[in-house]
Structure 1
């Protein structure tokens, strides 16, 4: 196990990737230590069932759900740092507005943000909705920076905003 402070993403600000109305938030789940080695992943894997039994809160940890268009689709931003959720239900959020900070809560082995768009508020019946990013910059694991017009980042890429437009 490793302290989460060793990871670049931990405690970085997380901005809303799109505007919408905050439907729900959850904060208060503890951030746990990171696990990268196969040995450290064994106890984590054994505790996955108990997180799944707790439903979305156990899996998503601290999170924000936005209604993007008055009745869906819904955007989930999950694994936020405990105590950093910066929005409240009913609040209108603009693209680029702070939602919280990157954490390691819920079903997460390392600090990162899980972003998901779905067609229903109930994750047990929701179907994923395809998404693409617009006007962003990617900082690759090797340190290279690439400006991207529209697309989907690769797993492990660090996405940075170039410009925010409504």
Structure 2
């Protein structure tokens, strides 16, 4: 059941995507209220086999090139009609990390990213104002952002491409709604439209298609 104050969004992509860090499974969904992430959700693009990338030796003991992942470069669409109020591009897409050793090393650098603020956490991103709320789409591919600040966008208009910038261990899309992009921002509940016309919040492990 969706919260009565949830901001209703269209799915901001096409294809198959695996749900992670969903507010339907826990709140705060990302383990913190910082930067308005309490009700954020992550979507990992996957192929027909439900995997984001093939398992290789590098995926077990090292790092991986983001180009080898199924969804790197997939179009990211606007989930709502509104005004673009924030745009950031130019952050590099770093290597992906799925191996235990690489994830431990990455976790040790988390405090420095938090100190770096929104660009360090969200990487390349676009924020669209919908009423009093900001809809953030983060971790976009470097050089892919297609909109500018002050531009009006329609539902389904392409904003950029899925990338691996910012606080990201593999190519994915982070979506959140909040009252600002500041460290102390308040997160706002979200819900997505299904093909049957109902509104829902997909749970961890669910694969959604659009």
What's the TM-score, normalizing by structure 2? 0.66
In structure 2, the partner of 1:149 is 198
Distance 1:85 1:156, change over 3 A: farther
- Evaluate the alpha carbon distance shift between residue 126 and residue 155 of structure 1 in structure 2; reply closer, same or farther with a 3 A threshold: same
1:126 is aligned to 185
Pick aligned residue for 1:26 from 88, 103, 119: 88
Query: 1:45 and 1:28 mapped to 2: Cα distance?
Result: 23
The residue number in structure 2 matching 1:144 is none
- Which structure 1 segments of 5+ residues have no match? 137-146, 162-166
| Residue aligned with 2:67, SS | helix
| TM-score of the aligned structures, taking structure 1 as reference length | 0.83
Partners of 2:197 and 2:98 in 1: CA distance: 29
CA RMSD of aligned residues (A): 1.6
Structure-2 residue corresponding to 1:89: 149
User: What is the count of residue pairs matched by the alignment?
Assistant: 148
Say if 2:123 and 2:165, in contact at 8 Å, map to a contact too. yes
Q: Give the Cα separation in 1 of the matches to 2:90 and 2:205.
A: 26
Name which of structure 1's ranges 47-56 and 88-97 shifts more when overlaid on structure 2.
Answer: 47-56
Q: Which has the higher contact order (CA 8 A, sep 6+)?
A: 2
CA–CA distance in 2 between the matches of 1:73 and 1:88?
A: 18
Against the structure 1 CA distance between its residues 46 and 90, is the aligned structure 2 distance closer, same or farther, given a 3 Å change threshold?
same
TM-aligned CA deviation for residue 96 of structure 1: 0.3
